[in-house]
Amino acid sequence: MRGIAKSMLTTLSVFLRPPVTRDYPNVHKPLPERDRAFPLLLWDQDIDEPFCTGCHACERACPVECMTVLMKDNPNHTSVGGNSKRRKIIDKFWIDYARCMRCNICVEVCNFDAIAMNNTWSGHETSVHDRKDLVMDLQQLTSQSHRGGIKEWVPVLGQANES
């Protein structure tokens, strides 16, 4: 009986501790900076176009082949009277969020820091009724960064902390 009494005492002591749960849909846990939800494309606010040049590096590196990239000549390039230095720019971009396994490899291989993992709650709460709606197009992928709704964290690979 003493063992059971001790068990009850443990339960009682836990009962008196403050709760650790949150009222989830109403209260969100603050996410760390490095949080990885799904990848999205970043928007160059200075020139008002995406950073992405459509170089296919992420498409080739993706282990689950969830990306489709098409590039085009940049209509805003300096040679045709624009103010952008990007000769090529992204034309169409689809990421199938249903396939993506959030491994961060696309972010690592990007030479232009044009793609980042979403570290906000909007990247996690993506439930839809139809699986087809999880295929995100260019507009959907860039809109959050366009609005300035993300402070992205692009990892510096293999570099140690300064101390």
Partner 1 sequence: MVIESAHEFETQDLLLNVGPQHPSTHGVFRMVMQVDGEVVRDIIPYIGYLHRGAEKLCETMDYRQGIGFMDRTEYLAAMNAELSYVMAVEALAELEVPDRAQWIRMILVELNRLSSHLMFMGAFGIDVGVFGTPFIYAWREREAIIDLFEEISGDRMMYAYLRPGGLAWDVPTNFVARCRETLTAVRQGIADFDGLLTKNEIFVARTQGIGFISAADAIDFGMSGPSIRASGVPLDVRREEPYLKYNDVKWDVITHTDGDVYARYLCRLGEMRESVKIVEQCLDRLEPGAIMPEKMPRMLRTPPGEVYIRTEAPRGEFGVYLVSKGGNRPYRLKVRSACLSNLQALKHMSVGQYVADAIIVLGSIDIVLSEVDR
Q: Pick the piece of the chain touching partner 1 (CB under 8 A) from 45-53, 88-96, 132-140, 151-159.
A: 151-159
**Per CB under 8 A, does 92 bind partner 1?**
no
Which of 16, 18, 20, 46 lies at the binding interface for partner 1 (CB under 8 A)?
20
| Coil, helix or strand at residue 145 | helix
Is the Cβ of residue 34 or residue 72 nearer to partner 1 in the bound state?
34
Which of 45, 63, 121, 139 lies at the binding interface for partner 1 (CB under 8 A)?
63
**Per CB under 8 A, does 87 bind partner 1?**
no
CB 131, min distance to partner 1, A: 19
Q: Pick the piece of the chain touching partner 1 (CB under 8 A) from 29-37, 41-49, 87-95, 140-148.
A: 29-37
- Paired with 69 in beta bridges are 93
Contact 100, 94 (CB under 8 A): no
Sign of CA dihedral 60, 61, 65, 68: negative
Query: Binding residues for partner 1, per CB under 8 A?
Result: 1-4, 6-7, 9-11, 14, 20, 32, 34-36, 61, 63, 101-105, 108, 117, 119, 155-161, 163
